Structure 1
Amino acid sequence: MTDELSSYFNDIVNNVNFHIKNFVKSNVRTLEEASFHLFTAGGKRLRPLILVSSSDLIGGDRQRAYKAAAAVEILHNFTLVHDDIMDRDYLRRGLPTVHVKWGEPMAILAGDYLHAKAFEALNEALKGLDGDTFYKAFSIFINSIEIISEGQAMDMSFENRVDVTEEEYVQMIKGKTAMLFSCSAALGGIINKASDDIIKNLIEYGLNLGISFQIVDDILGIIGDEKELGKPVYSDIREGKKTILVIKTLSEAKDDEKKILVSTLGNREAKKDDLERASEIIRKYSLQYAYNLAKKYSDLALEHLRKIPVYNETAEKALKYLAQFTIERRK
């Protein structure tokens, strides 16, 4: 990353963090601590970076963008708190998950609180704008939550199936992950009253970038380092997640290898040796295929980015870099 982009990203993250801290306040100390917990572990802030860079790309209002970016990041953290409860994960970004530290009832409340605070932040971002802009922004925000919920439900339903197709997988990650990337990019245009054509290309940029991001995330769940990932390695195998790697492997592996993989998938009692053997089989048949697929969607994102008139060249460099980073990241 160049010094120019490093400075650009740091400025966005610092300002968005400031707004997040202001929004996630509560008169009940325990609720505030539980709600703010995952923010203290840092995180990439990819969605805020996408939103503010998309806004800058078309010459938008930075202060509105910071508040809208806080809204999408708060919403994202709401989904993480509830996801960790559903997946029974005990680590997130290297920290104990909220339900582990405060218990499930408080974690559910923290998630609900973050959900409300996300809408408060978006409402503040739109203050003073016309009703049509309000409608467009809230529509895509609400629709994102609905589609994220559907994606999560699909992901859970896949755990008990061995016949999940690649098409179903892509549809699932469009909802579970990519929709909020898409919403972030779109809001960068909507809050600045961009044309429908620009917003459409921002939507597609974010959607394809999000698909690429999730594919790489699934790859890292197999080959990543636990300390770098900040969460248990092989957790996707233990939970029976039907990632693109698993789907491809089940279609290509020999019968004895499939048997090993199927017996390990979703087996929460599986020993480390079993998980490592399953991982070896998955790597053998699907690793390069998954990387190529992630690259395909990253390239699609860049195709749509090129269709947008550029007001700010640094913002354009930032959005291009994020597509590159998504493919090359190791955590």
Structure 2
Amino acid sequence: MTEDQPALREVERYMRAVIDRAESSGMLDDRAALPLYRVLAYHLGWMDEQFRPARVDGGKRIRPLLCLRCCEAAGGDPSAAAPVGAAIELLHNFTLVHDDIQDRSRTRRHRPTVWALWGEAQAINAGDAMFALSQLALLEVADRLPASSVALLLRAFNETTLRIVEGQVLDLGFEDRPSVSVDEYLTMIRGKTAALTAFAAWSGALVAGADPERLERFRLFGEALGLGFQIRDDYLGIWGRREETGKEPADDIRRRKKSLPIVLLLESMTPPDRELLDSLWSGPEVSDQAVEQVLELLERYGVRERVRAEVARLHQEAHSLLAEAAAPGPARDALAALLDRLATRSG
């Protein structure tokens, strides 16, 4: 992704600026007495656990990149969308900080999570601050757009946040249910994951001045990309490799997570196999032997290939929507290349 680095550096510049301004205008003159902003810098990959400057994995920055590339593909200057990209990335990371608490995840990107280091209460504070900072970052675009467009962006940004939270509520609720339909699963990921990629594509085109019809095409492209991204993530959550995902192999099985592979399995299996699955998941922890048996069930019912096929279908759908939204040229080619990378990613 070397060709994407200049655009992402501009996004990071806005992210750092909004955090630095917030820290400088904070309640205390002594920054060491209020470590909140350094905790955020740790999560974003800018500092280590001792708050020393670092350059570690802070995530792929896919969503802000999508925003900037869609701005360019709609005929705009991608740098004009950088504040929106920064807001999108801060919003995404707000959800990650809180998700890690809810999922009891102690590691992310090969490092301890915020709550694992500083406790749940301070992690909630960090996530709340990240959300407020995302709003401030979005307002940085106010001197580049008409007031009506800024108001539209803010409204859509907050509506997107609600869709993400609704999706997370559904996802957590699935954990206590014996079964979930494919339609229910798709509704959940349309909120939890695809709402933000849809906003990223739509907002980039909005900054470029696209008309309403074209904005909707970009939004649909971003949604299809997000759906495929999440289903690929579900695939990796079971069949991904530790050195590439940073998670234990078959981690979603150990967590009894109702991702698409498990949803498809539950809809397909015979009553005796369902009883077997229930027994494998009945204990406080899922053993290595139980994981292997669940993997065997997934193979027996052809779930792995069905998930791959769904990723491929959404990949093709997103390409078709992109062709409708953007005119041929380097900007559309860059988006197509991004789409291809996401559909085949291993981590």
TM-score over 0.5 for the pair: yes
Q: CA deviation at 1:33?
A: 2.0
**CA offset digits 1:63-93 (Å, max 9, x no partner):** 3211111110010000000000000001111
CA distance in 1 between counterparts of 2:2 and 2:97 reads: 30
Query: Which one of 33, 37, 59 corresponds to residue 32 of structure 1?
Result: 37
2:248 corresponds to 1:228:
no
2:114 corresponds to 1:87:
no
2:166 corresponds to 1:150:
yes
**CA offset digits 1:128-163 (Å, max 9, x no partner):** 422220122112111110000000000011111122
2:107 corresponds to 1:112:
no
Q: 1:17 matched to which residue of 2? A: 12
Counterparts in 2 of 1:200 and 1:268: CA distance versus 1, 3 Å: farther
Of all paired residues, the percent bearing the same amino acid is 32
Q: 2:27 matched to which residue of 1? A: none
Q: How many residues align?
A: 325
Output the TM-score relative to the length of structure 2.
Answer: 0.89
Letter in 1 for 2:114: V
Query: Which one of 77, 97, 116 corresponds to residue 61 of structure 1?
Result: 77
- Higher RCO by CA contacts (8 Å cutoff, separation 6 or greater): 1
Q: CA deviation at 1:242?
A: 1.3
Letter in 2 for 1:306: A
Q: 1:130 matched to which residue of 2? A: 146
Counterparts in 2 of 1:128 and 1:328: CA distance versus 1, 3 Å: closer
Q: 1:3 matched to which residue of 2? A: none
Counterparts in 2 of 1:264 and 1:132: CA distance versus 1, 3 Å: farther
Q: CA deviation at 1:188?
A: 0.2
Does the aligned pair in 2 maintain the 1:261–1:278 contact within 8 Å? yes
Q: 2:61 matched to which residue of 1? A: 45
Determine helix, strand or coil for the equivalent of 1:307. helix
Counterparts in 2 of 1:66 and 1:275: CA distance versus 1, 3 Å: same
Q: CA deviation at 1:309?
A: 4.0
2:288 corresponds to 1:272:
yes
Query: Which one of 224, 230, 239 corresponds to residue 255 of structure 2?
Result: 239
**CA offset digits 1:265-298 (Å, max 9, x no partner):** 4855222222232233224421111111112122
CA distance in 2 between counterparts of 1:179 and 1:300 reads: 17
Does the aligned pair in 2 maintain the 1:164–1:247 contact within 8 Å? yes
Q: 1:299 matched to which residue of 2? A: 316
Query: Which one of 143, 158, 162 corresponds to residue 178 of structure 2?
Result: 162
Q: CA deviation at 1:198?
A: 1.2
**CA offset digits 1:154-173 (Å, max 9, x no partner):** 00111111221100000000
Does the aligned pair in 1 maintain the 2:70–2:204 contact within 8 Å? yes
Letter in 2 for 1:67: P
5+ residue gaps, structure 1: 1-5
Moved more, 7-16 or 195-204: 7-16
Q: CA deviation at 1:303?
A: 1.4
Q: 1:259 matched to which residue of 2? A: 275
Moved more, 224-233 or 20-29: 20-29
Does the aligned pair in 2 maintain the 1:147–1:176 contact within 8 Å? yes
Does the aligned pair in 2 maintain the 1:56–1:315 contact within 8 Å? yes
CA distance in 2 between counterparts of 1:319 and 1:201 reads: 14
Q: 2:48 matched to which residue of 1? A: none
CA distance in 2 between counterparts of 1:7 and 1:94 reads: 22
Q: 1:96 matched to which residue of 2? A: 112
Q: 2:28 matched to which residue of 1? A: none
Letter in 1 for 2:305: Q
Q: CA deviation at 1:7?
A: 4.0
Does the aligned pair in 2 maintain the 1:264–1:270 contact within 8 Å? yes
Letter in 1 for 2:241: D
Letter in 2 for 1:125: V
**Aligned CA-pair RMSD:** 1.8
For the pair shown, the structure with the greater C-alpha radius of gyration is 2
